[in-house]
Chain A
Amino acid sequence: MKIFVLLFCLLLAACETAVPVKQKFPEVPASLMEPCTNLEYAPAGTKELSVLLETVVKNYGHYRTCRSMVESWQEWYNEQKRISQ
């Protein structure tokens, strides 16, 4: 009886085939996770055109930085997709 039980276990053991191989989702660089800087307001009480223009130029700079982050995200995604294929 014990031998039959052992044989039965041996036969059942063939049912198992489990070797999971998982691909880890790649880590994104920390610099891409930083939020975009907020736009700046003109300093309170400003009357000078130069001060306003400086604020506008700074905001252009914030936009350019944010845009380069978006482009970098796209580049990162496309590159990771190519690597994983």
Chain B
Amino acid sequence: MWIIHHLPPSFLETIINLLLLVGLGGTLATVLAINTILRFLPIFSHYYRIAQVIFVCVFLLGVYMKGAFTTEQSWRQKVAEVELKLKDAEIQSAKTNTVITEKIITKTKIVREQVKTAADKIRTIVVPHDKECVLSPDIIEAHDAAIRLLSEPR
């Protein structure tokens, strides 16, 4: 209820309980103890019917507001629990991101080192044989054509 959103819960609870008490008390008094009341307050005899209706309405309003307030409070609690869970999830997500970023940096570094090691090995082992094994331009073109084919967007 939009009214409940803008008022402090403790204040609302007090008002609602007051409404219930006054409504219930008034209803019981005007229904069950009307003779006793009229004995002490005879002037009330002209108005007790109206008072009964008012007290019943106040009581019903109190019951309605109590139900609405209780429902609102239970929903607020559920929302608070879910928000807490979401906050935990966000923290865990951020931690996961940090871990994965570090893993990528490490893996990239390892790959670079391995490529460097392989390139060094090629220079050591293959370079001395370059003069014996001269590649024709067709071989280079076949290699580059494969790269072109594999690099084409699909």
Which residues of A are at the interface with B, using a C-beta cutoff of 8 A? 10, 13-14, 16-17, 19, 21, 23-24, 26-32, 38-42, 46-50, 52-61, 64-65, 68-69, 72, 75-76, 79-80, 83-84
Contacts and interface: CB of A to CB of B under 8 A. Distances in A.
- Secondary structure at the B interface, as helix, strand, loop or mixed, is helix
A30 to B, nearest CB: 8
A19 B122 contact: no
A39 B76 CA distance: 56
A31 B99 CA distance: 12
Given A21-B86, A54-B123, A76-B97, 11 more contacts: A27-B97, A29-B100, A39-B147, A49-B133, A52-B135, A53-B122, A61-B114, A65-B107, A79-B96, A80-B93, A83-B93
Nearest to B135: A47
A52 B143 contact: yes
Contacts of B133: 49
Interface string B131-142: 001111101100
Contacts of B43: none
A75 B100 contact: yes
Contacts of A79: 96, 100
A79 B95 CA distance: 11
7 closest A-B pairs by beta carbon, nearest first, are: A61-B115, A26-B93, A50-B126, A68-B107, A48-B130, A57-B118, A29-B101
A27 to B, nearest CB: 7
B104 A13 contact: no
Interface of B: 1-3, 64, 68, 71-72, 75-76, 79, 82-83, 86, 89-90, 92-93, 96-97, 100-101, 103-105, 107-108, 111-112, 114-115, 118-119, 122-123, 126-127, 129-130, 133-137, 139-140, 143-144, 147, 150-151
Nearest to A15: B1
Nearest to A61: B115
B142 to A, nearest CB: 10
B104 A69 contact: yes
- In this complex, the member of A31, A50, A76 whose beta carbon has the largest number of chain B beta carbons within 10 angstroms is A50
